Structure 1
Amino acid sequence: MASPAADDYLKTVYAHTEWQPNPITPSQLAAKLGIAPSSVTEMVKKLAASGLVSHVPYGAVRLTEQGEHRALAMLRRHRLIETWLVREFGYAWDEVHDEAEILEHTISDRLLEGIDERLGRPRFDPHGDAIPDASGSVARDPFVLLADADPGHSGRVLRVDDRDPELLRSLESAGVAIGGEVVVVPHGLRIGGLDTALPDGAADVIWLSA
């Protein structure tokens, strides 16, 4: 199944389990993609028939080895493009996701390799998500979700979820930055020695080094 839609499904299934252990359900997949559950059911059947996912009725959707290889290739494209847009064109981290969604399906492998080389083969995108290398290998540090971190926990900001541009802008205004050293305090983070309250929902979209 060589189609942008199939690639988006595979990429979403993989990304769901990058930062938490539970496999994705068809209803969660429909919500993330903004697609009707009936359409998701049909596509999952096609992906399973192509050997890209495994799925039983009413059960979770999991990638096969072949499906994971293809998902990693698409994530490499998406995240390298996001990094390229930020570094070379001055995009903000809340502006790159939708652009990358379009460009990842259009650029050639040759251009992608050139982008990777020009950027110095970065390991992480602007949101802290790991960029798979050309072989599909991924390096990721041990992590903890802010919502699960105890007060007093100190570490680096490893990743911020990119799904909500408005929340990204609010976090940037609060001083949250990938790689920044922070300490968990009640209702927020200590950033640069100052206790900073965070907007609603922030604890569920920020990951810290464990």
Structure 2
Amino acid sequence: MASPAADDYLKTVYAHTEWQDSPITPSVLAAKLGIAPSSVTEMVKKLASAGLVSHVPYGAVRLTDAGTQRALAVIRRHRLIETWLVQEFGYGWDEVHDEAEVLEHTISDRLLEGIDARLGRPRFDPHGDAIPDAEGRIDREPFVLLADAAPGHAGRVLRVSDQDPEVLRAVEAAGVTVGTEVVVTPGGVRVDGVDVEVGDAAAVIWLTA
């Protein structure tokens, strides 16, 4: 069932468990997509009938192997487009998510391949999310959520969630971005010897383990 809506569902299910282990429920899926629970129930049934997800009533929604490959293909498009917009057009990392949401459904496979080649086959997008290759393979280092990291833990910022542009701007203004070397402190992180408070952003920043 080829449709942008189906792709958005599969991408959201995949992304939910990409950086943590709790499976996604229909109610959480509805909240993430901003769609009525009844509509989510109907679409999940269709995806299950197409062999793309597995689901039992009131239980978690999980991707099948076929659903995972489909999700990775969409995610590849999204993250390559984000990287393209930042590197080629000067977009900020807080500006690309919504643009990519639209473009991922419209560009051709030929253009996508051209973008990938033009960018030098990047492995990660501007937020630190892994970009699947054309075969769906991804690279990811062991990680820990900043909120779960013990004080004194030293690591490199691997990823900052792109869901809230304001958080991205605040984190960047504090001198924390993908690749920054930090030491965890009780109130945030230490960057180049300077203590930085990150507040609620600790829940959307991942470090090397």
d(CA) in 1 for partners of 2:176, 2:103: 27
CA-based RMSD: 0.5
Q: How far apart, in 1, do the equivalents of 2:200 and 2:168 lie?
A: 11
Work out the CA distance in 1 between the residues paired with 2:69 and 2:167.
31
For 2:45, the aligned partner's letter is: K
CA-to-aligned-CA distance 1:39-59 (integer Å, 9 cap, x gap) = 100100000011000000000
Give the structure 1 partner of residue 80 of structure 2.
80
Write out aligned runs for 1:22-41 (5 A): 22-41=22-41
Matched, 1:131 2:131: yes
Per the alignment, residue 201 of structure 1 pairs with 200
Mapping of residues 35-54 of structure 1, within 5 Å = 35-54=35-54
1:112 equivalent in structure 2: 112
CA distance in 1, matches of 2:31, 2:183: 33
Runs of 5+ unmatched residues, structure 2: none
How many residues align? The count is 209
- Report SS of the residue matched to 2:73: helix
1:111-135 CA distance string (max 9 Å, x none)? 0000000100000000000000000
Please name the residue that 2:170 is paired with: 170
CA shift, 1:106, in A, is 0.4
- Same amino acid, percent of matched pairs: 79
Matched residue type, 1:202: A
Scaled by the length of structure 2, what TM-score is found?
0.99
- In 1, the alpha carbon distance for the partners of 2:88 and 2:81 equals 10
- Which stretches of structure 1, 4 residues or longer, exceed 3 Å deviation after superposition? none
